[in-house]
C-alpha cells in the first residue's frame, strides 16, 4: 500500500513537470503574451559553488607563502662572499638566491623587493627564522607597506620553514658539483644552479618550477644544440631537416 502511494505521488509529480514544460514550450512561441509558470524547487538544480565557496577558493588562490633563509658562512668566494640568501615559493617551488658578504637587514629588505615583490608580486605570508636580519623595523615597514604577514619559525621547531631548509641543502649540493677545485667561484655558479633546479621536475608538484611560474617548459641549451622534437615543431623545419635529426614527420 505504501509503495502504491509513493508511485502515485511520483506520477503526479512527473505530470506536473510535464505540464510545466509544455507551458514553457508554448510560451516560447507566444512571446507577446505574459505567462507565469510555477516551478517546483525540487526541479531546480542548485549551483555547484555557493558564494561562500567562491570566497574560499579566492582565499586559497591568494594564500601564497615564501620561505626565506640564509646559508653560511661558506668558504669565502673570490668576490668576498660568505653567505647565500635564498627564498622558495611553497607552491611552485620556484627559488631565488643571491650571494652576500654580510647578512644585514638592508640586504634582506632589498632582496625581498627586487627579487620577489617586483618580479612575482606580493606573497601572502613570508616564513623566516628569528634572526635579526629578518626581525627588524625595516621588514616590519615592508610588511605594512605591501600588506603581507611574516611568520617566524621557532628554534625549537625549525621544520616550520622546512621547505627553505631543504632547498638550501639542494642548492649547496648543486654548487659542489659545479665549482672549480678552489671552490672559490661558487658565487658565480649560483645562477647555473638555480637554472638546474628550476627546470627539474619536483616530486610534490610533478612539474618543474619553471612551468608552474611561466606556464610553459623552458627551452634547455642542449635542445638548441641538438634540436628536440618540440623545438623542431616550433621552428617548423622542412621535412629533410626533420629526417636529418631522425624525427617522426
Q: Do 201 and 235 have their domain in common? A: no
Q: Poorest-confidence range of 97-101, 104-108, 215-219, 230-234?
A: 230-234
Give domain status of residue 140, yes or no. Answer: yes
Q: Do 210 and 234 have their domain in common? A: no
Whether the CB-CB separation of 137 and 120 falls below 8 Å is answered with no
Q: Do 131 and 214 have their domain in common? A: yes
User: What CATH number corresponds to the domain at position 78?
Assistant: 3.30.420.10
Q: Do 149 and 228 have their domain in common? A: no
Quick: pLDDT tens for 180-211: 777 889 999 999 899 989 988 888 888 999 99
Cα separation, 69 vs 85, in Å, equals 6
- Tell whether the model's pLDDT for residue 107 goes beyond 80: yes
Q: Which domain holds residue 238?
A: 219-249
What are 184's three cell numbers? Answer: 672559490
Q: Do 105 and 156 have their domain in common? A: yes
For residue 88, which of 189, 187, 174, 198 has the smallest C-alpha distance?
198
Give domain status of residue 53, yes or no. Answer: no
State the DSSP code for 112. I
Q: Do 181 and 110 have their domain in common? A: yes
Whether the CB-CB separation of 94 and 214 falls below 8 Å is answered with no
Predicted local confidence at residue 86, as pLDDT: 94
Give domain status of residue 233, yes or no. Answer: yes
Q: Do 136 and 226 have their domain in common? A: no
- Tell whether the model's pLDDT for residue 246 goes beyond 80: no
What are 208's three cell numbers? Answer: 618543474
Give domain status of residue 56, yes or no. Answer: no
How many structural domains does the chain have?
2
Q: Do 68 and 183 have their domain in common? A: yes
- Tell whether the model's pLDDT for residue 124 goes beyond 70: yes
Predicted local confidence at residue 23, as pLDDT: 62
For residue 187, which of 92, 104, 60, 80 has the smallest C-alpha distance?
80
pTM: 0.63
Quick: pLDDT tens for 12-54: 666 666 676 666 556 555 555 555 555 544 444 344 334 444 4
The H or E element spanning position 65 is: strand 65-71
Q: Do 184 and 85 have their domain in common? A: yes
Q: Do 177 and 198 have their domain in common? A: yes
SS3 category, 85: strand
Q: Do 170 and 94 have their domain in common? A: yes
Give domain status of residue 81, yes or no. Answer: yes
Give domain status of residue 18, yes or no. Answer: no
Quick: pLDDT tens for 145-185: 999 999 887 664 555 567 788 888 888 888 888 887 778 89
Give domain status of residue 40, yes or no. Answer: no
Cα separation, 76 vs 66, in Å, equals 27
Buried b (16+ CB within 10 A) or exposed e, 95-116: bbbbbbeebebebbbebbeebb
Q: Do 115 and 194 have their domain in common? A: yes
Phi-psi region of 93 (alpha: psi -120 to 50; beta: other; left: phi over 0): left
Cβ neighbours of residue 22 under 8 Å, at least 6 residues apart? none
Give domain status of residue 180, yes or no. Answer: yes
Q: Is the dihedral of CA 168, 172, 173, 175 positive or negative?
A: positive
Amino acid at each position: 500500500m505504501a509503495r502504491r502511494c509513493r508511485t502515485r505521488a511520483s506520477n503526479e509529480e512527473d505530470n506536473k513537470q510535464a505540464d510545466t514544460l509544455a507551458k514553457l514550450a508554448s510560451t516560447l512561441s507566444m512571446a507577446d503574451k505574459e505567462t507565469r509558470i510555477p516551478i517546483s524547487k525540487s526541479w531546480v538544480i542548485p549551483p555547484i559553488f555557493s558564494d561562500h565557496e567562491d570566497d574560499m577558493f579566492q582565499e586559497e588562490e591568494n594564500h601564497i607563502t615564501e620561505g626565506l633563509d640564509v646559508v653560511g658562512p661558506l668558504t669565502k668566494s673570490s668576490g668576498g662572499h660568505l653567505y647565500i640568501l635564498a627564498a622558495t615559493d611553497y607552491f611552485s617551488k620556484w627559488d631565488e638566491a643571491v650571494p652576500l658578504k654580510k647578512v644585514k637587514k638592508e640586504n634582506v629588505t632589498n632582496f625581498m623587493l627586487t627579487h620577489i615583490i617586483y618580479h612575482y608580486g606580493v606573497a601572502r605570508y613570508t616564513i623566516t627564522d628569528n634572526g635579526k636580519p629578518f626581525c627588524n623595523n625595516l621588514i616590519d615597514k615592508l610588511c605594512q607597506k605591501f600588506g603581507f604577514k611574516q611568520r617566524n619559525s621557532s628554534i625549537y621547531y625549525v621544520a616550520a620553514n622546512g621547505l627553505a631548509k631543504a632547498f638550501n641543502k639542494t642548492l649547496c649540493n648543486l654548487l659542489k658539483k659545479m665549482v672549480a677545485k678552489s671552490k672559490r667561484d661558487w658565487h658565480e655558479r649560483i645562477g647555473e644552479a638555480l637554472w638546474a633546479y628550476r627546470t627539474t621536475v619536483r616530486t610534490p608538484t610533478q612539474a618543474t618550477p619553471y612551468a608552474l611560474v611561466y606556464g610553459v617548459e623552458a627551452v634547455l641549451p642542449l635542445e638548441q644544440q641538438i634540436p628536440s622534437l618540440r623545438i623542431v615543431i616550433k621552428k617548423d623545419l622542412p621535412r629533410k631537416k626533420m629526417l636529418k635529426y631522425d624525427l617522426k614527420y
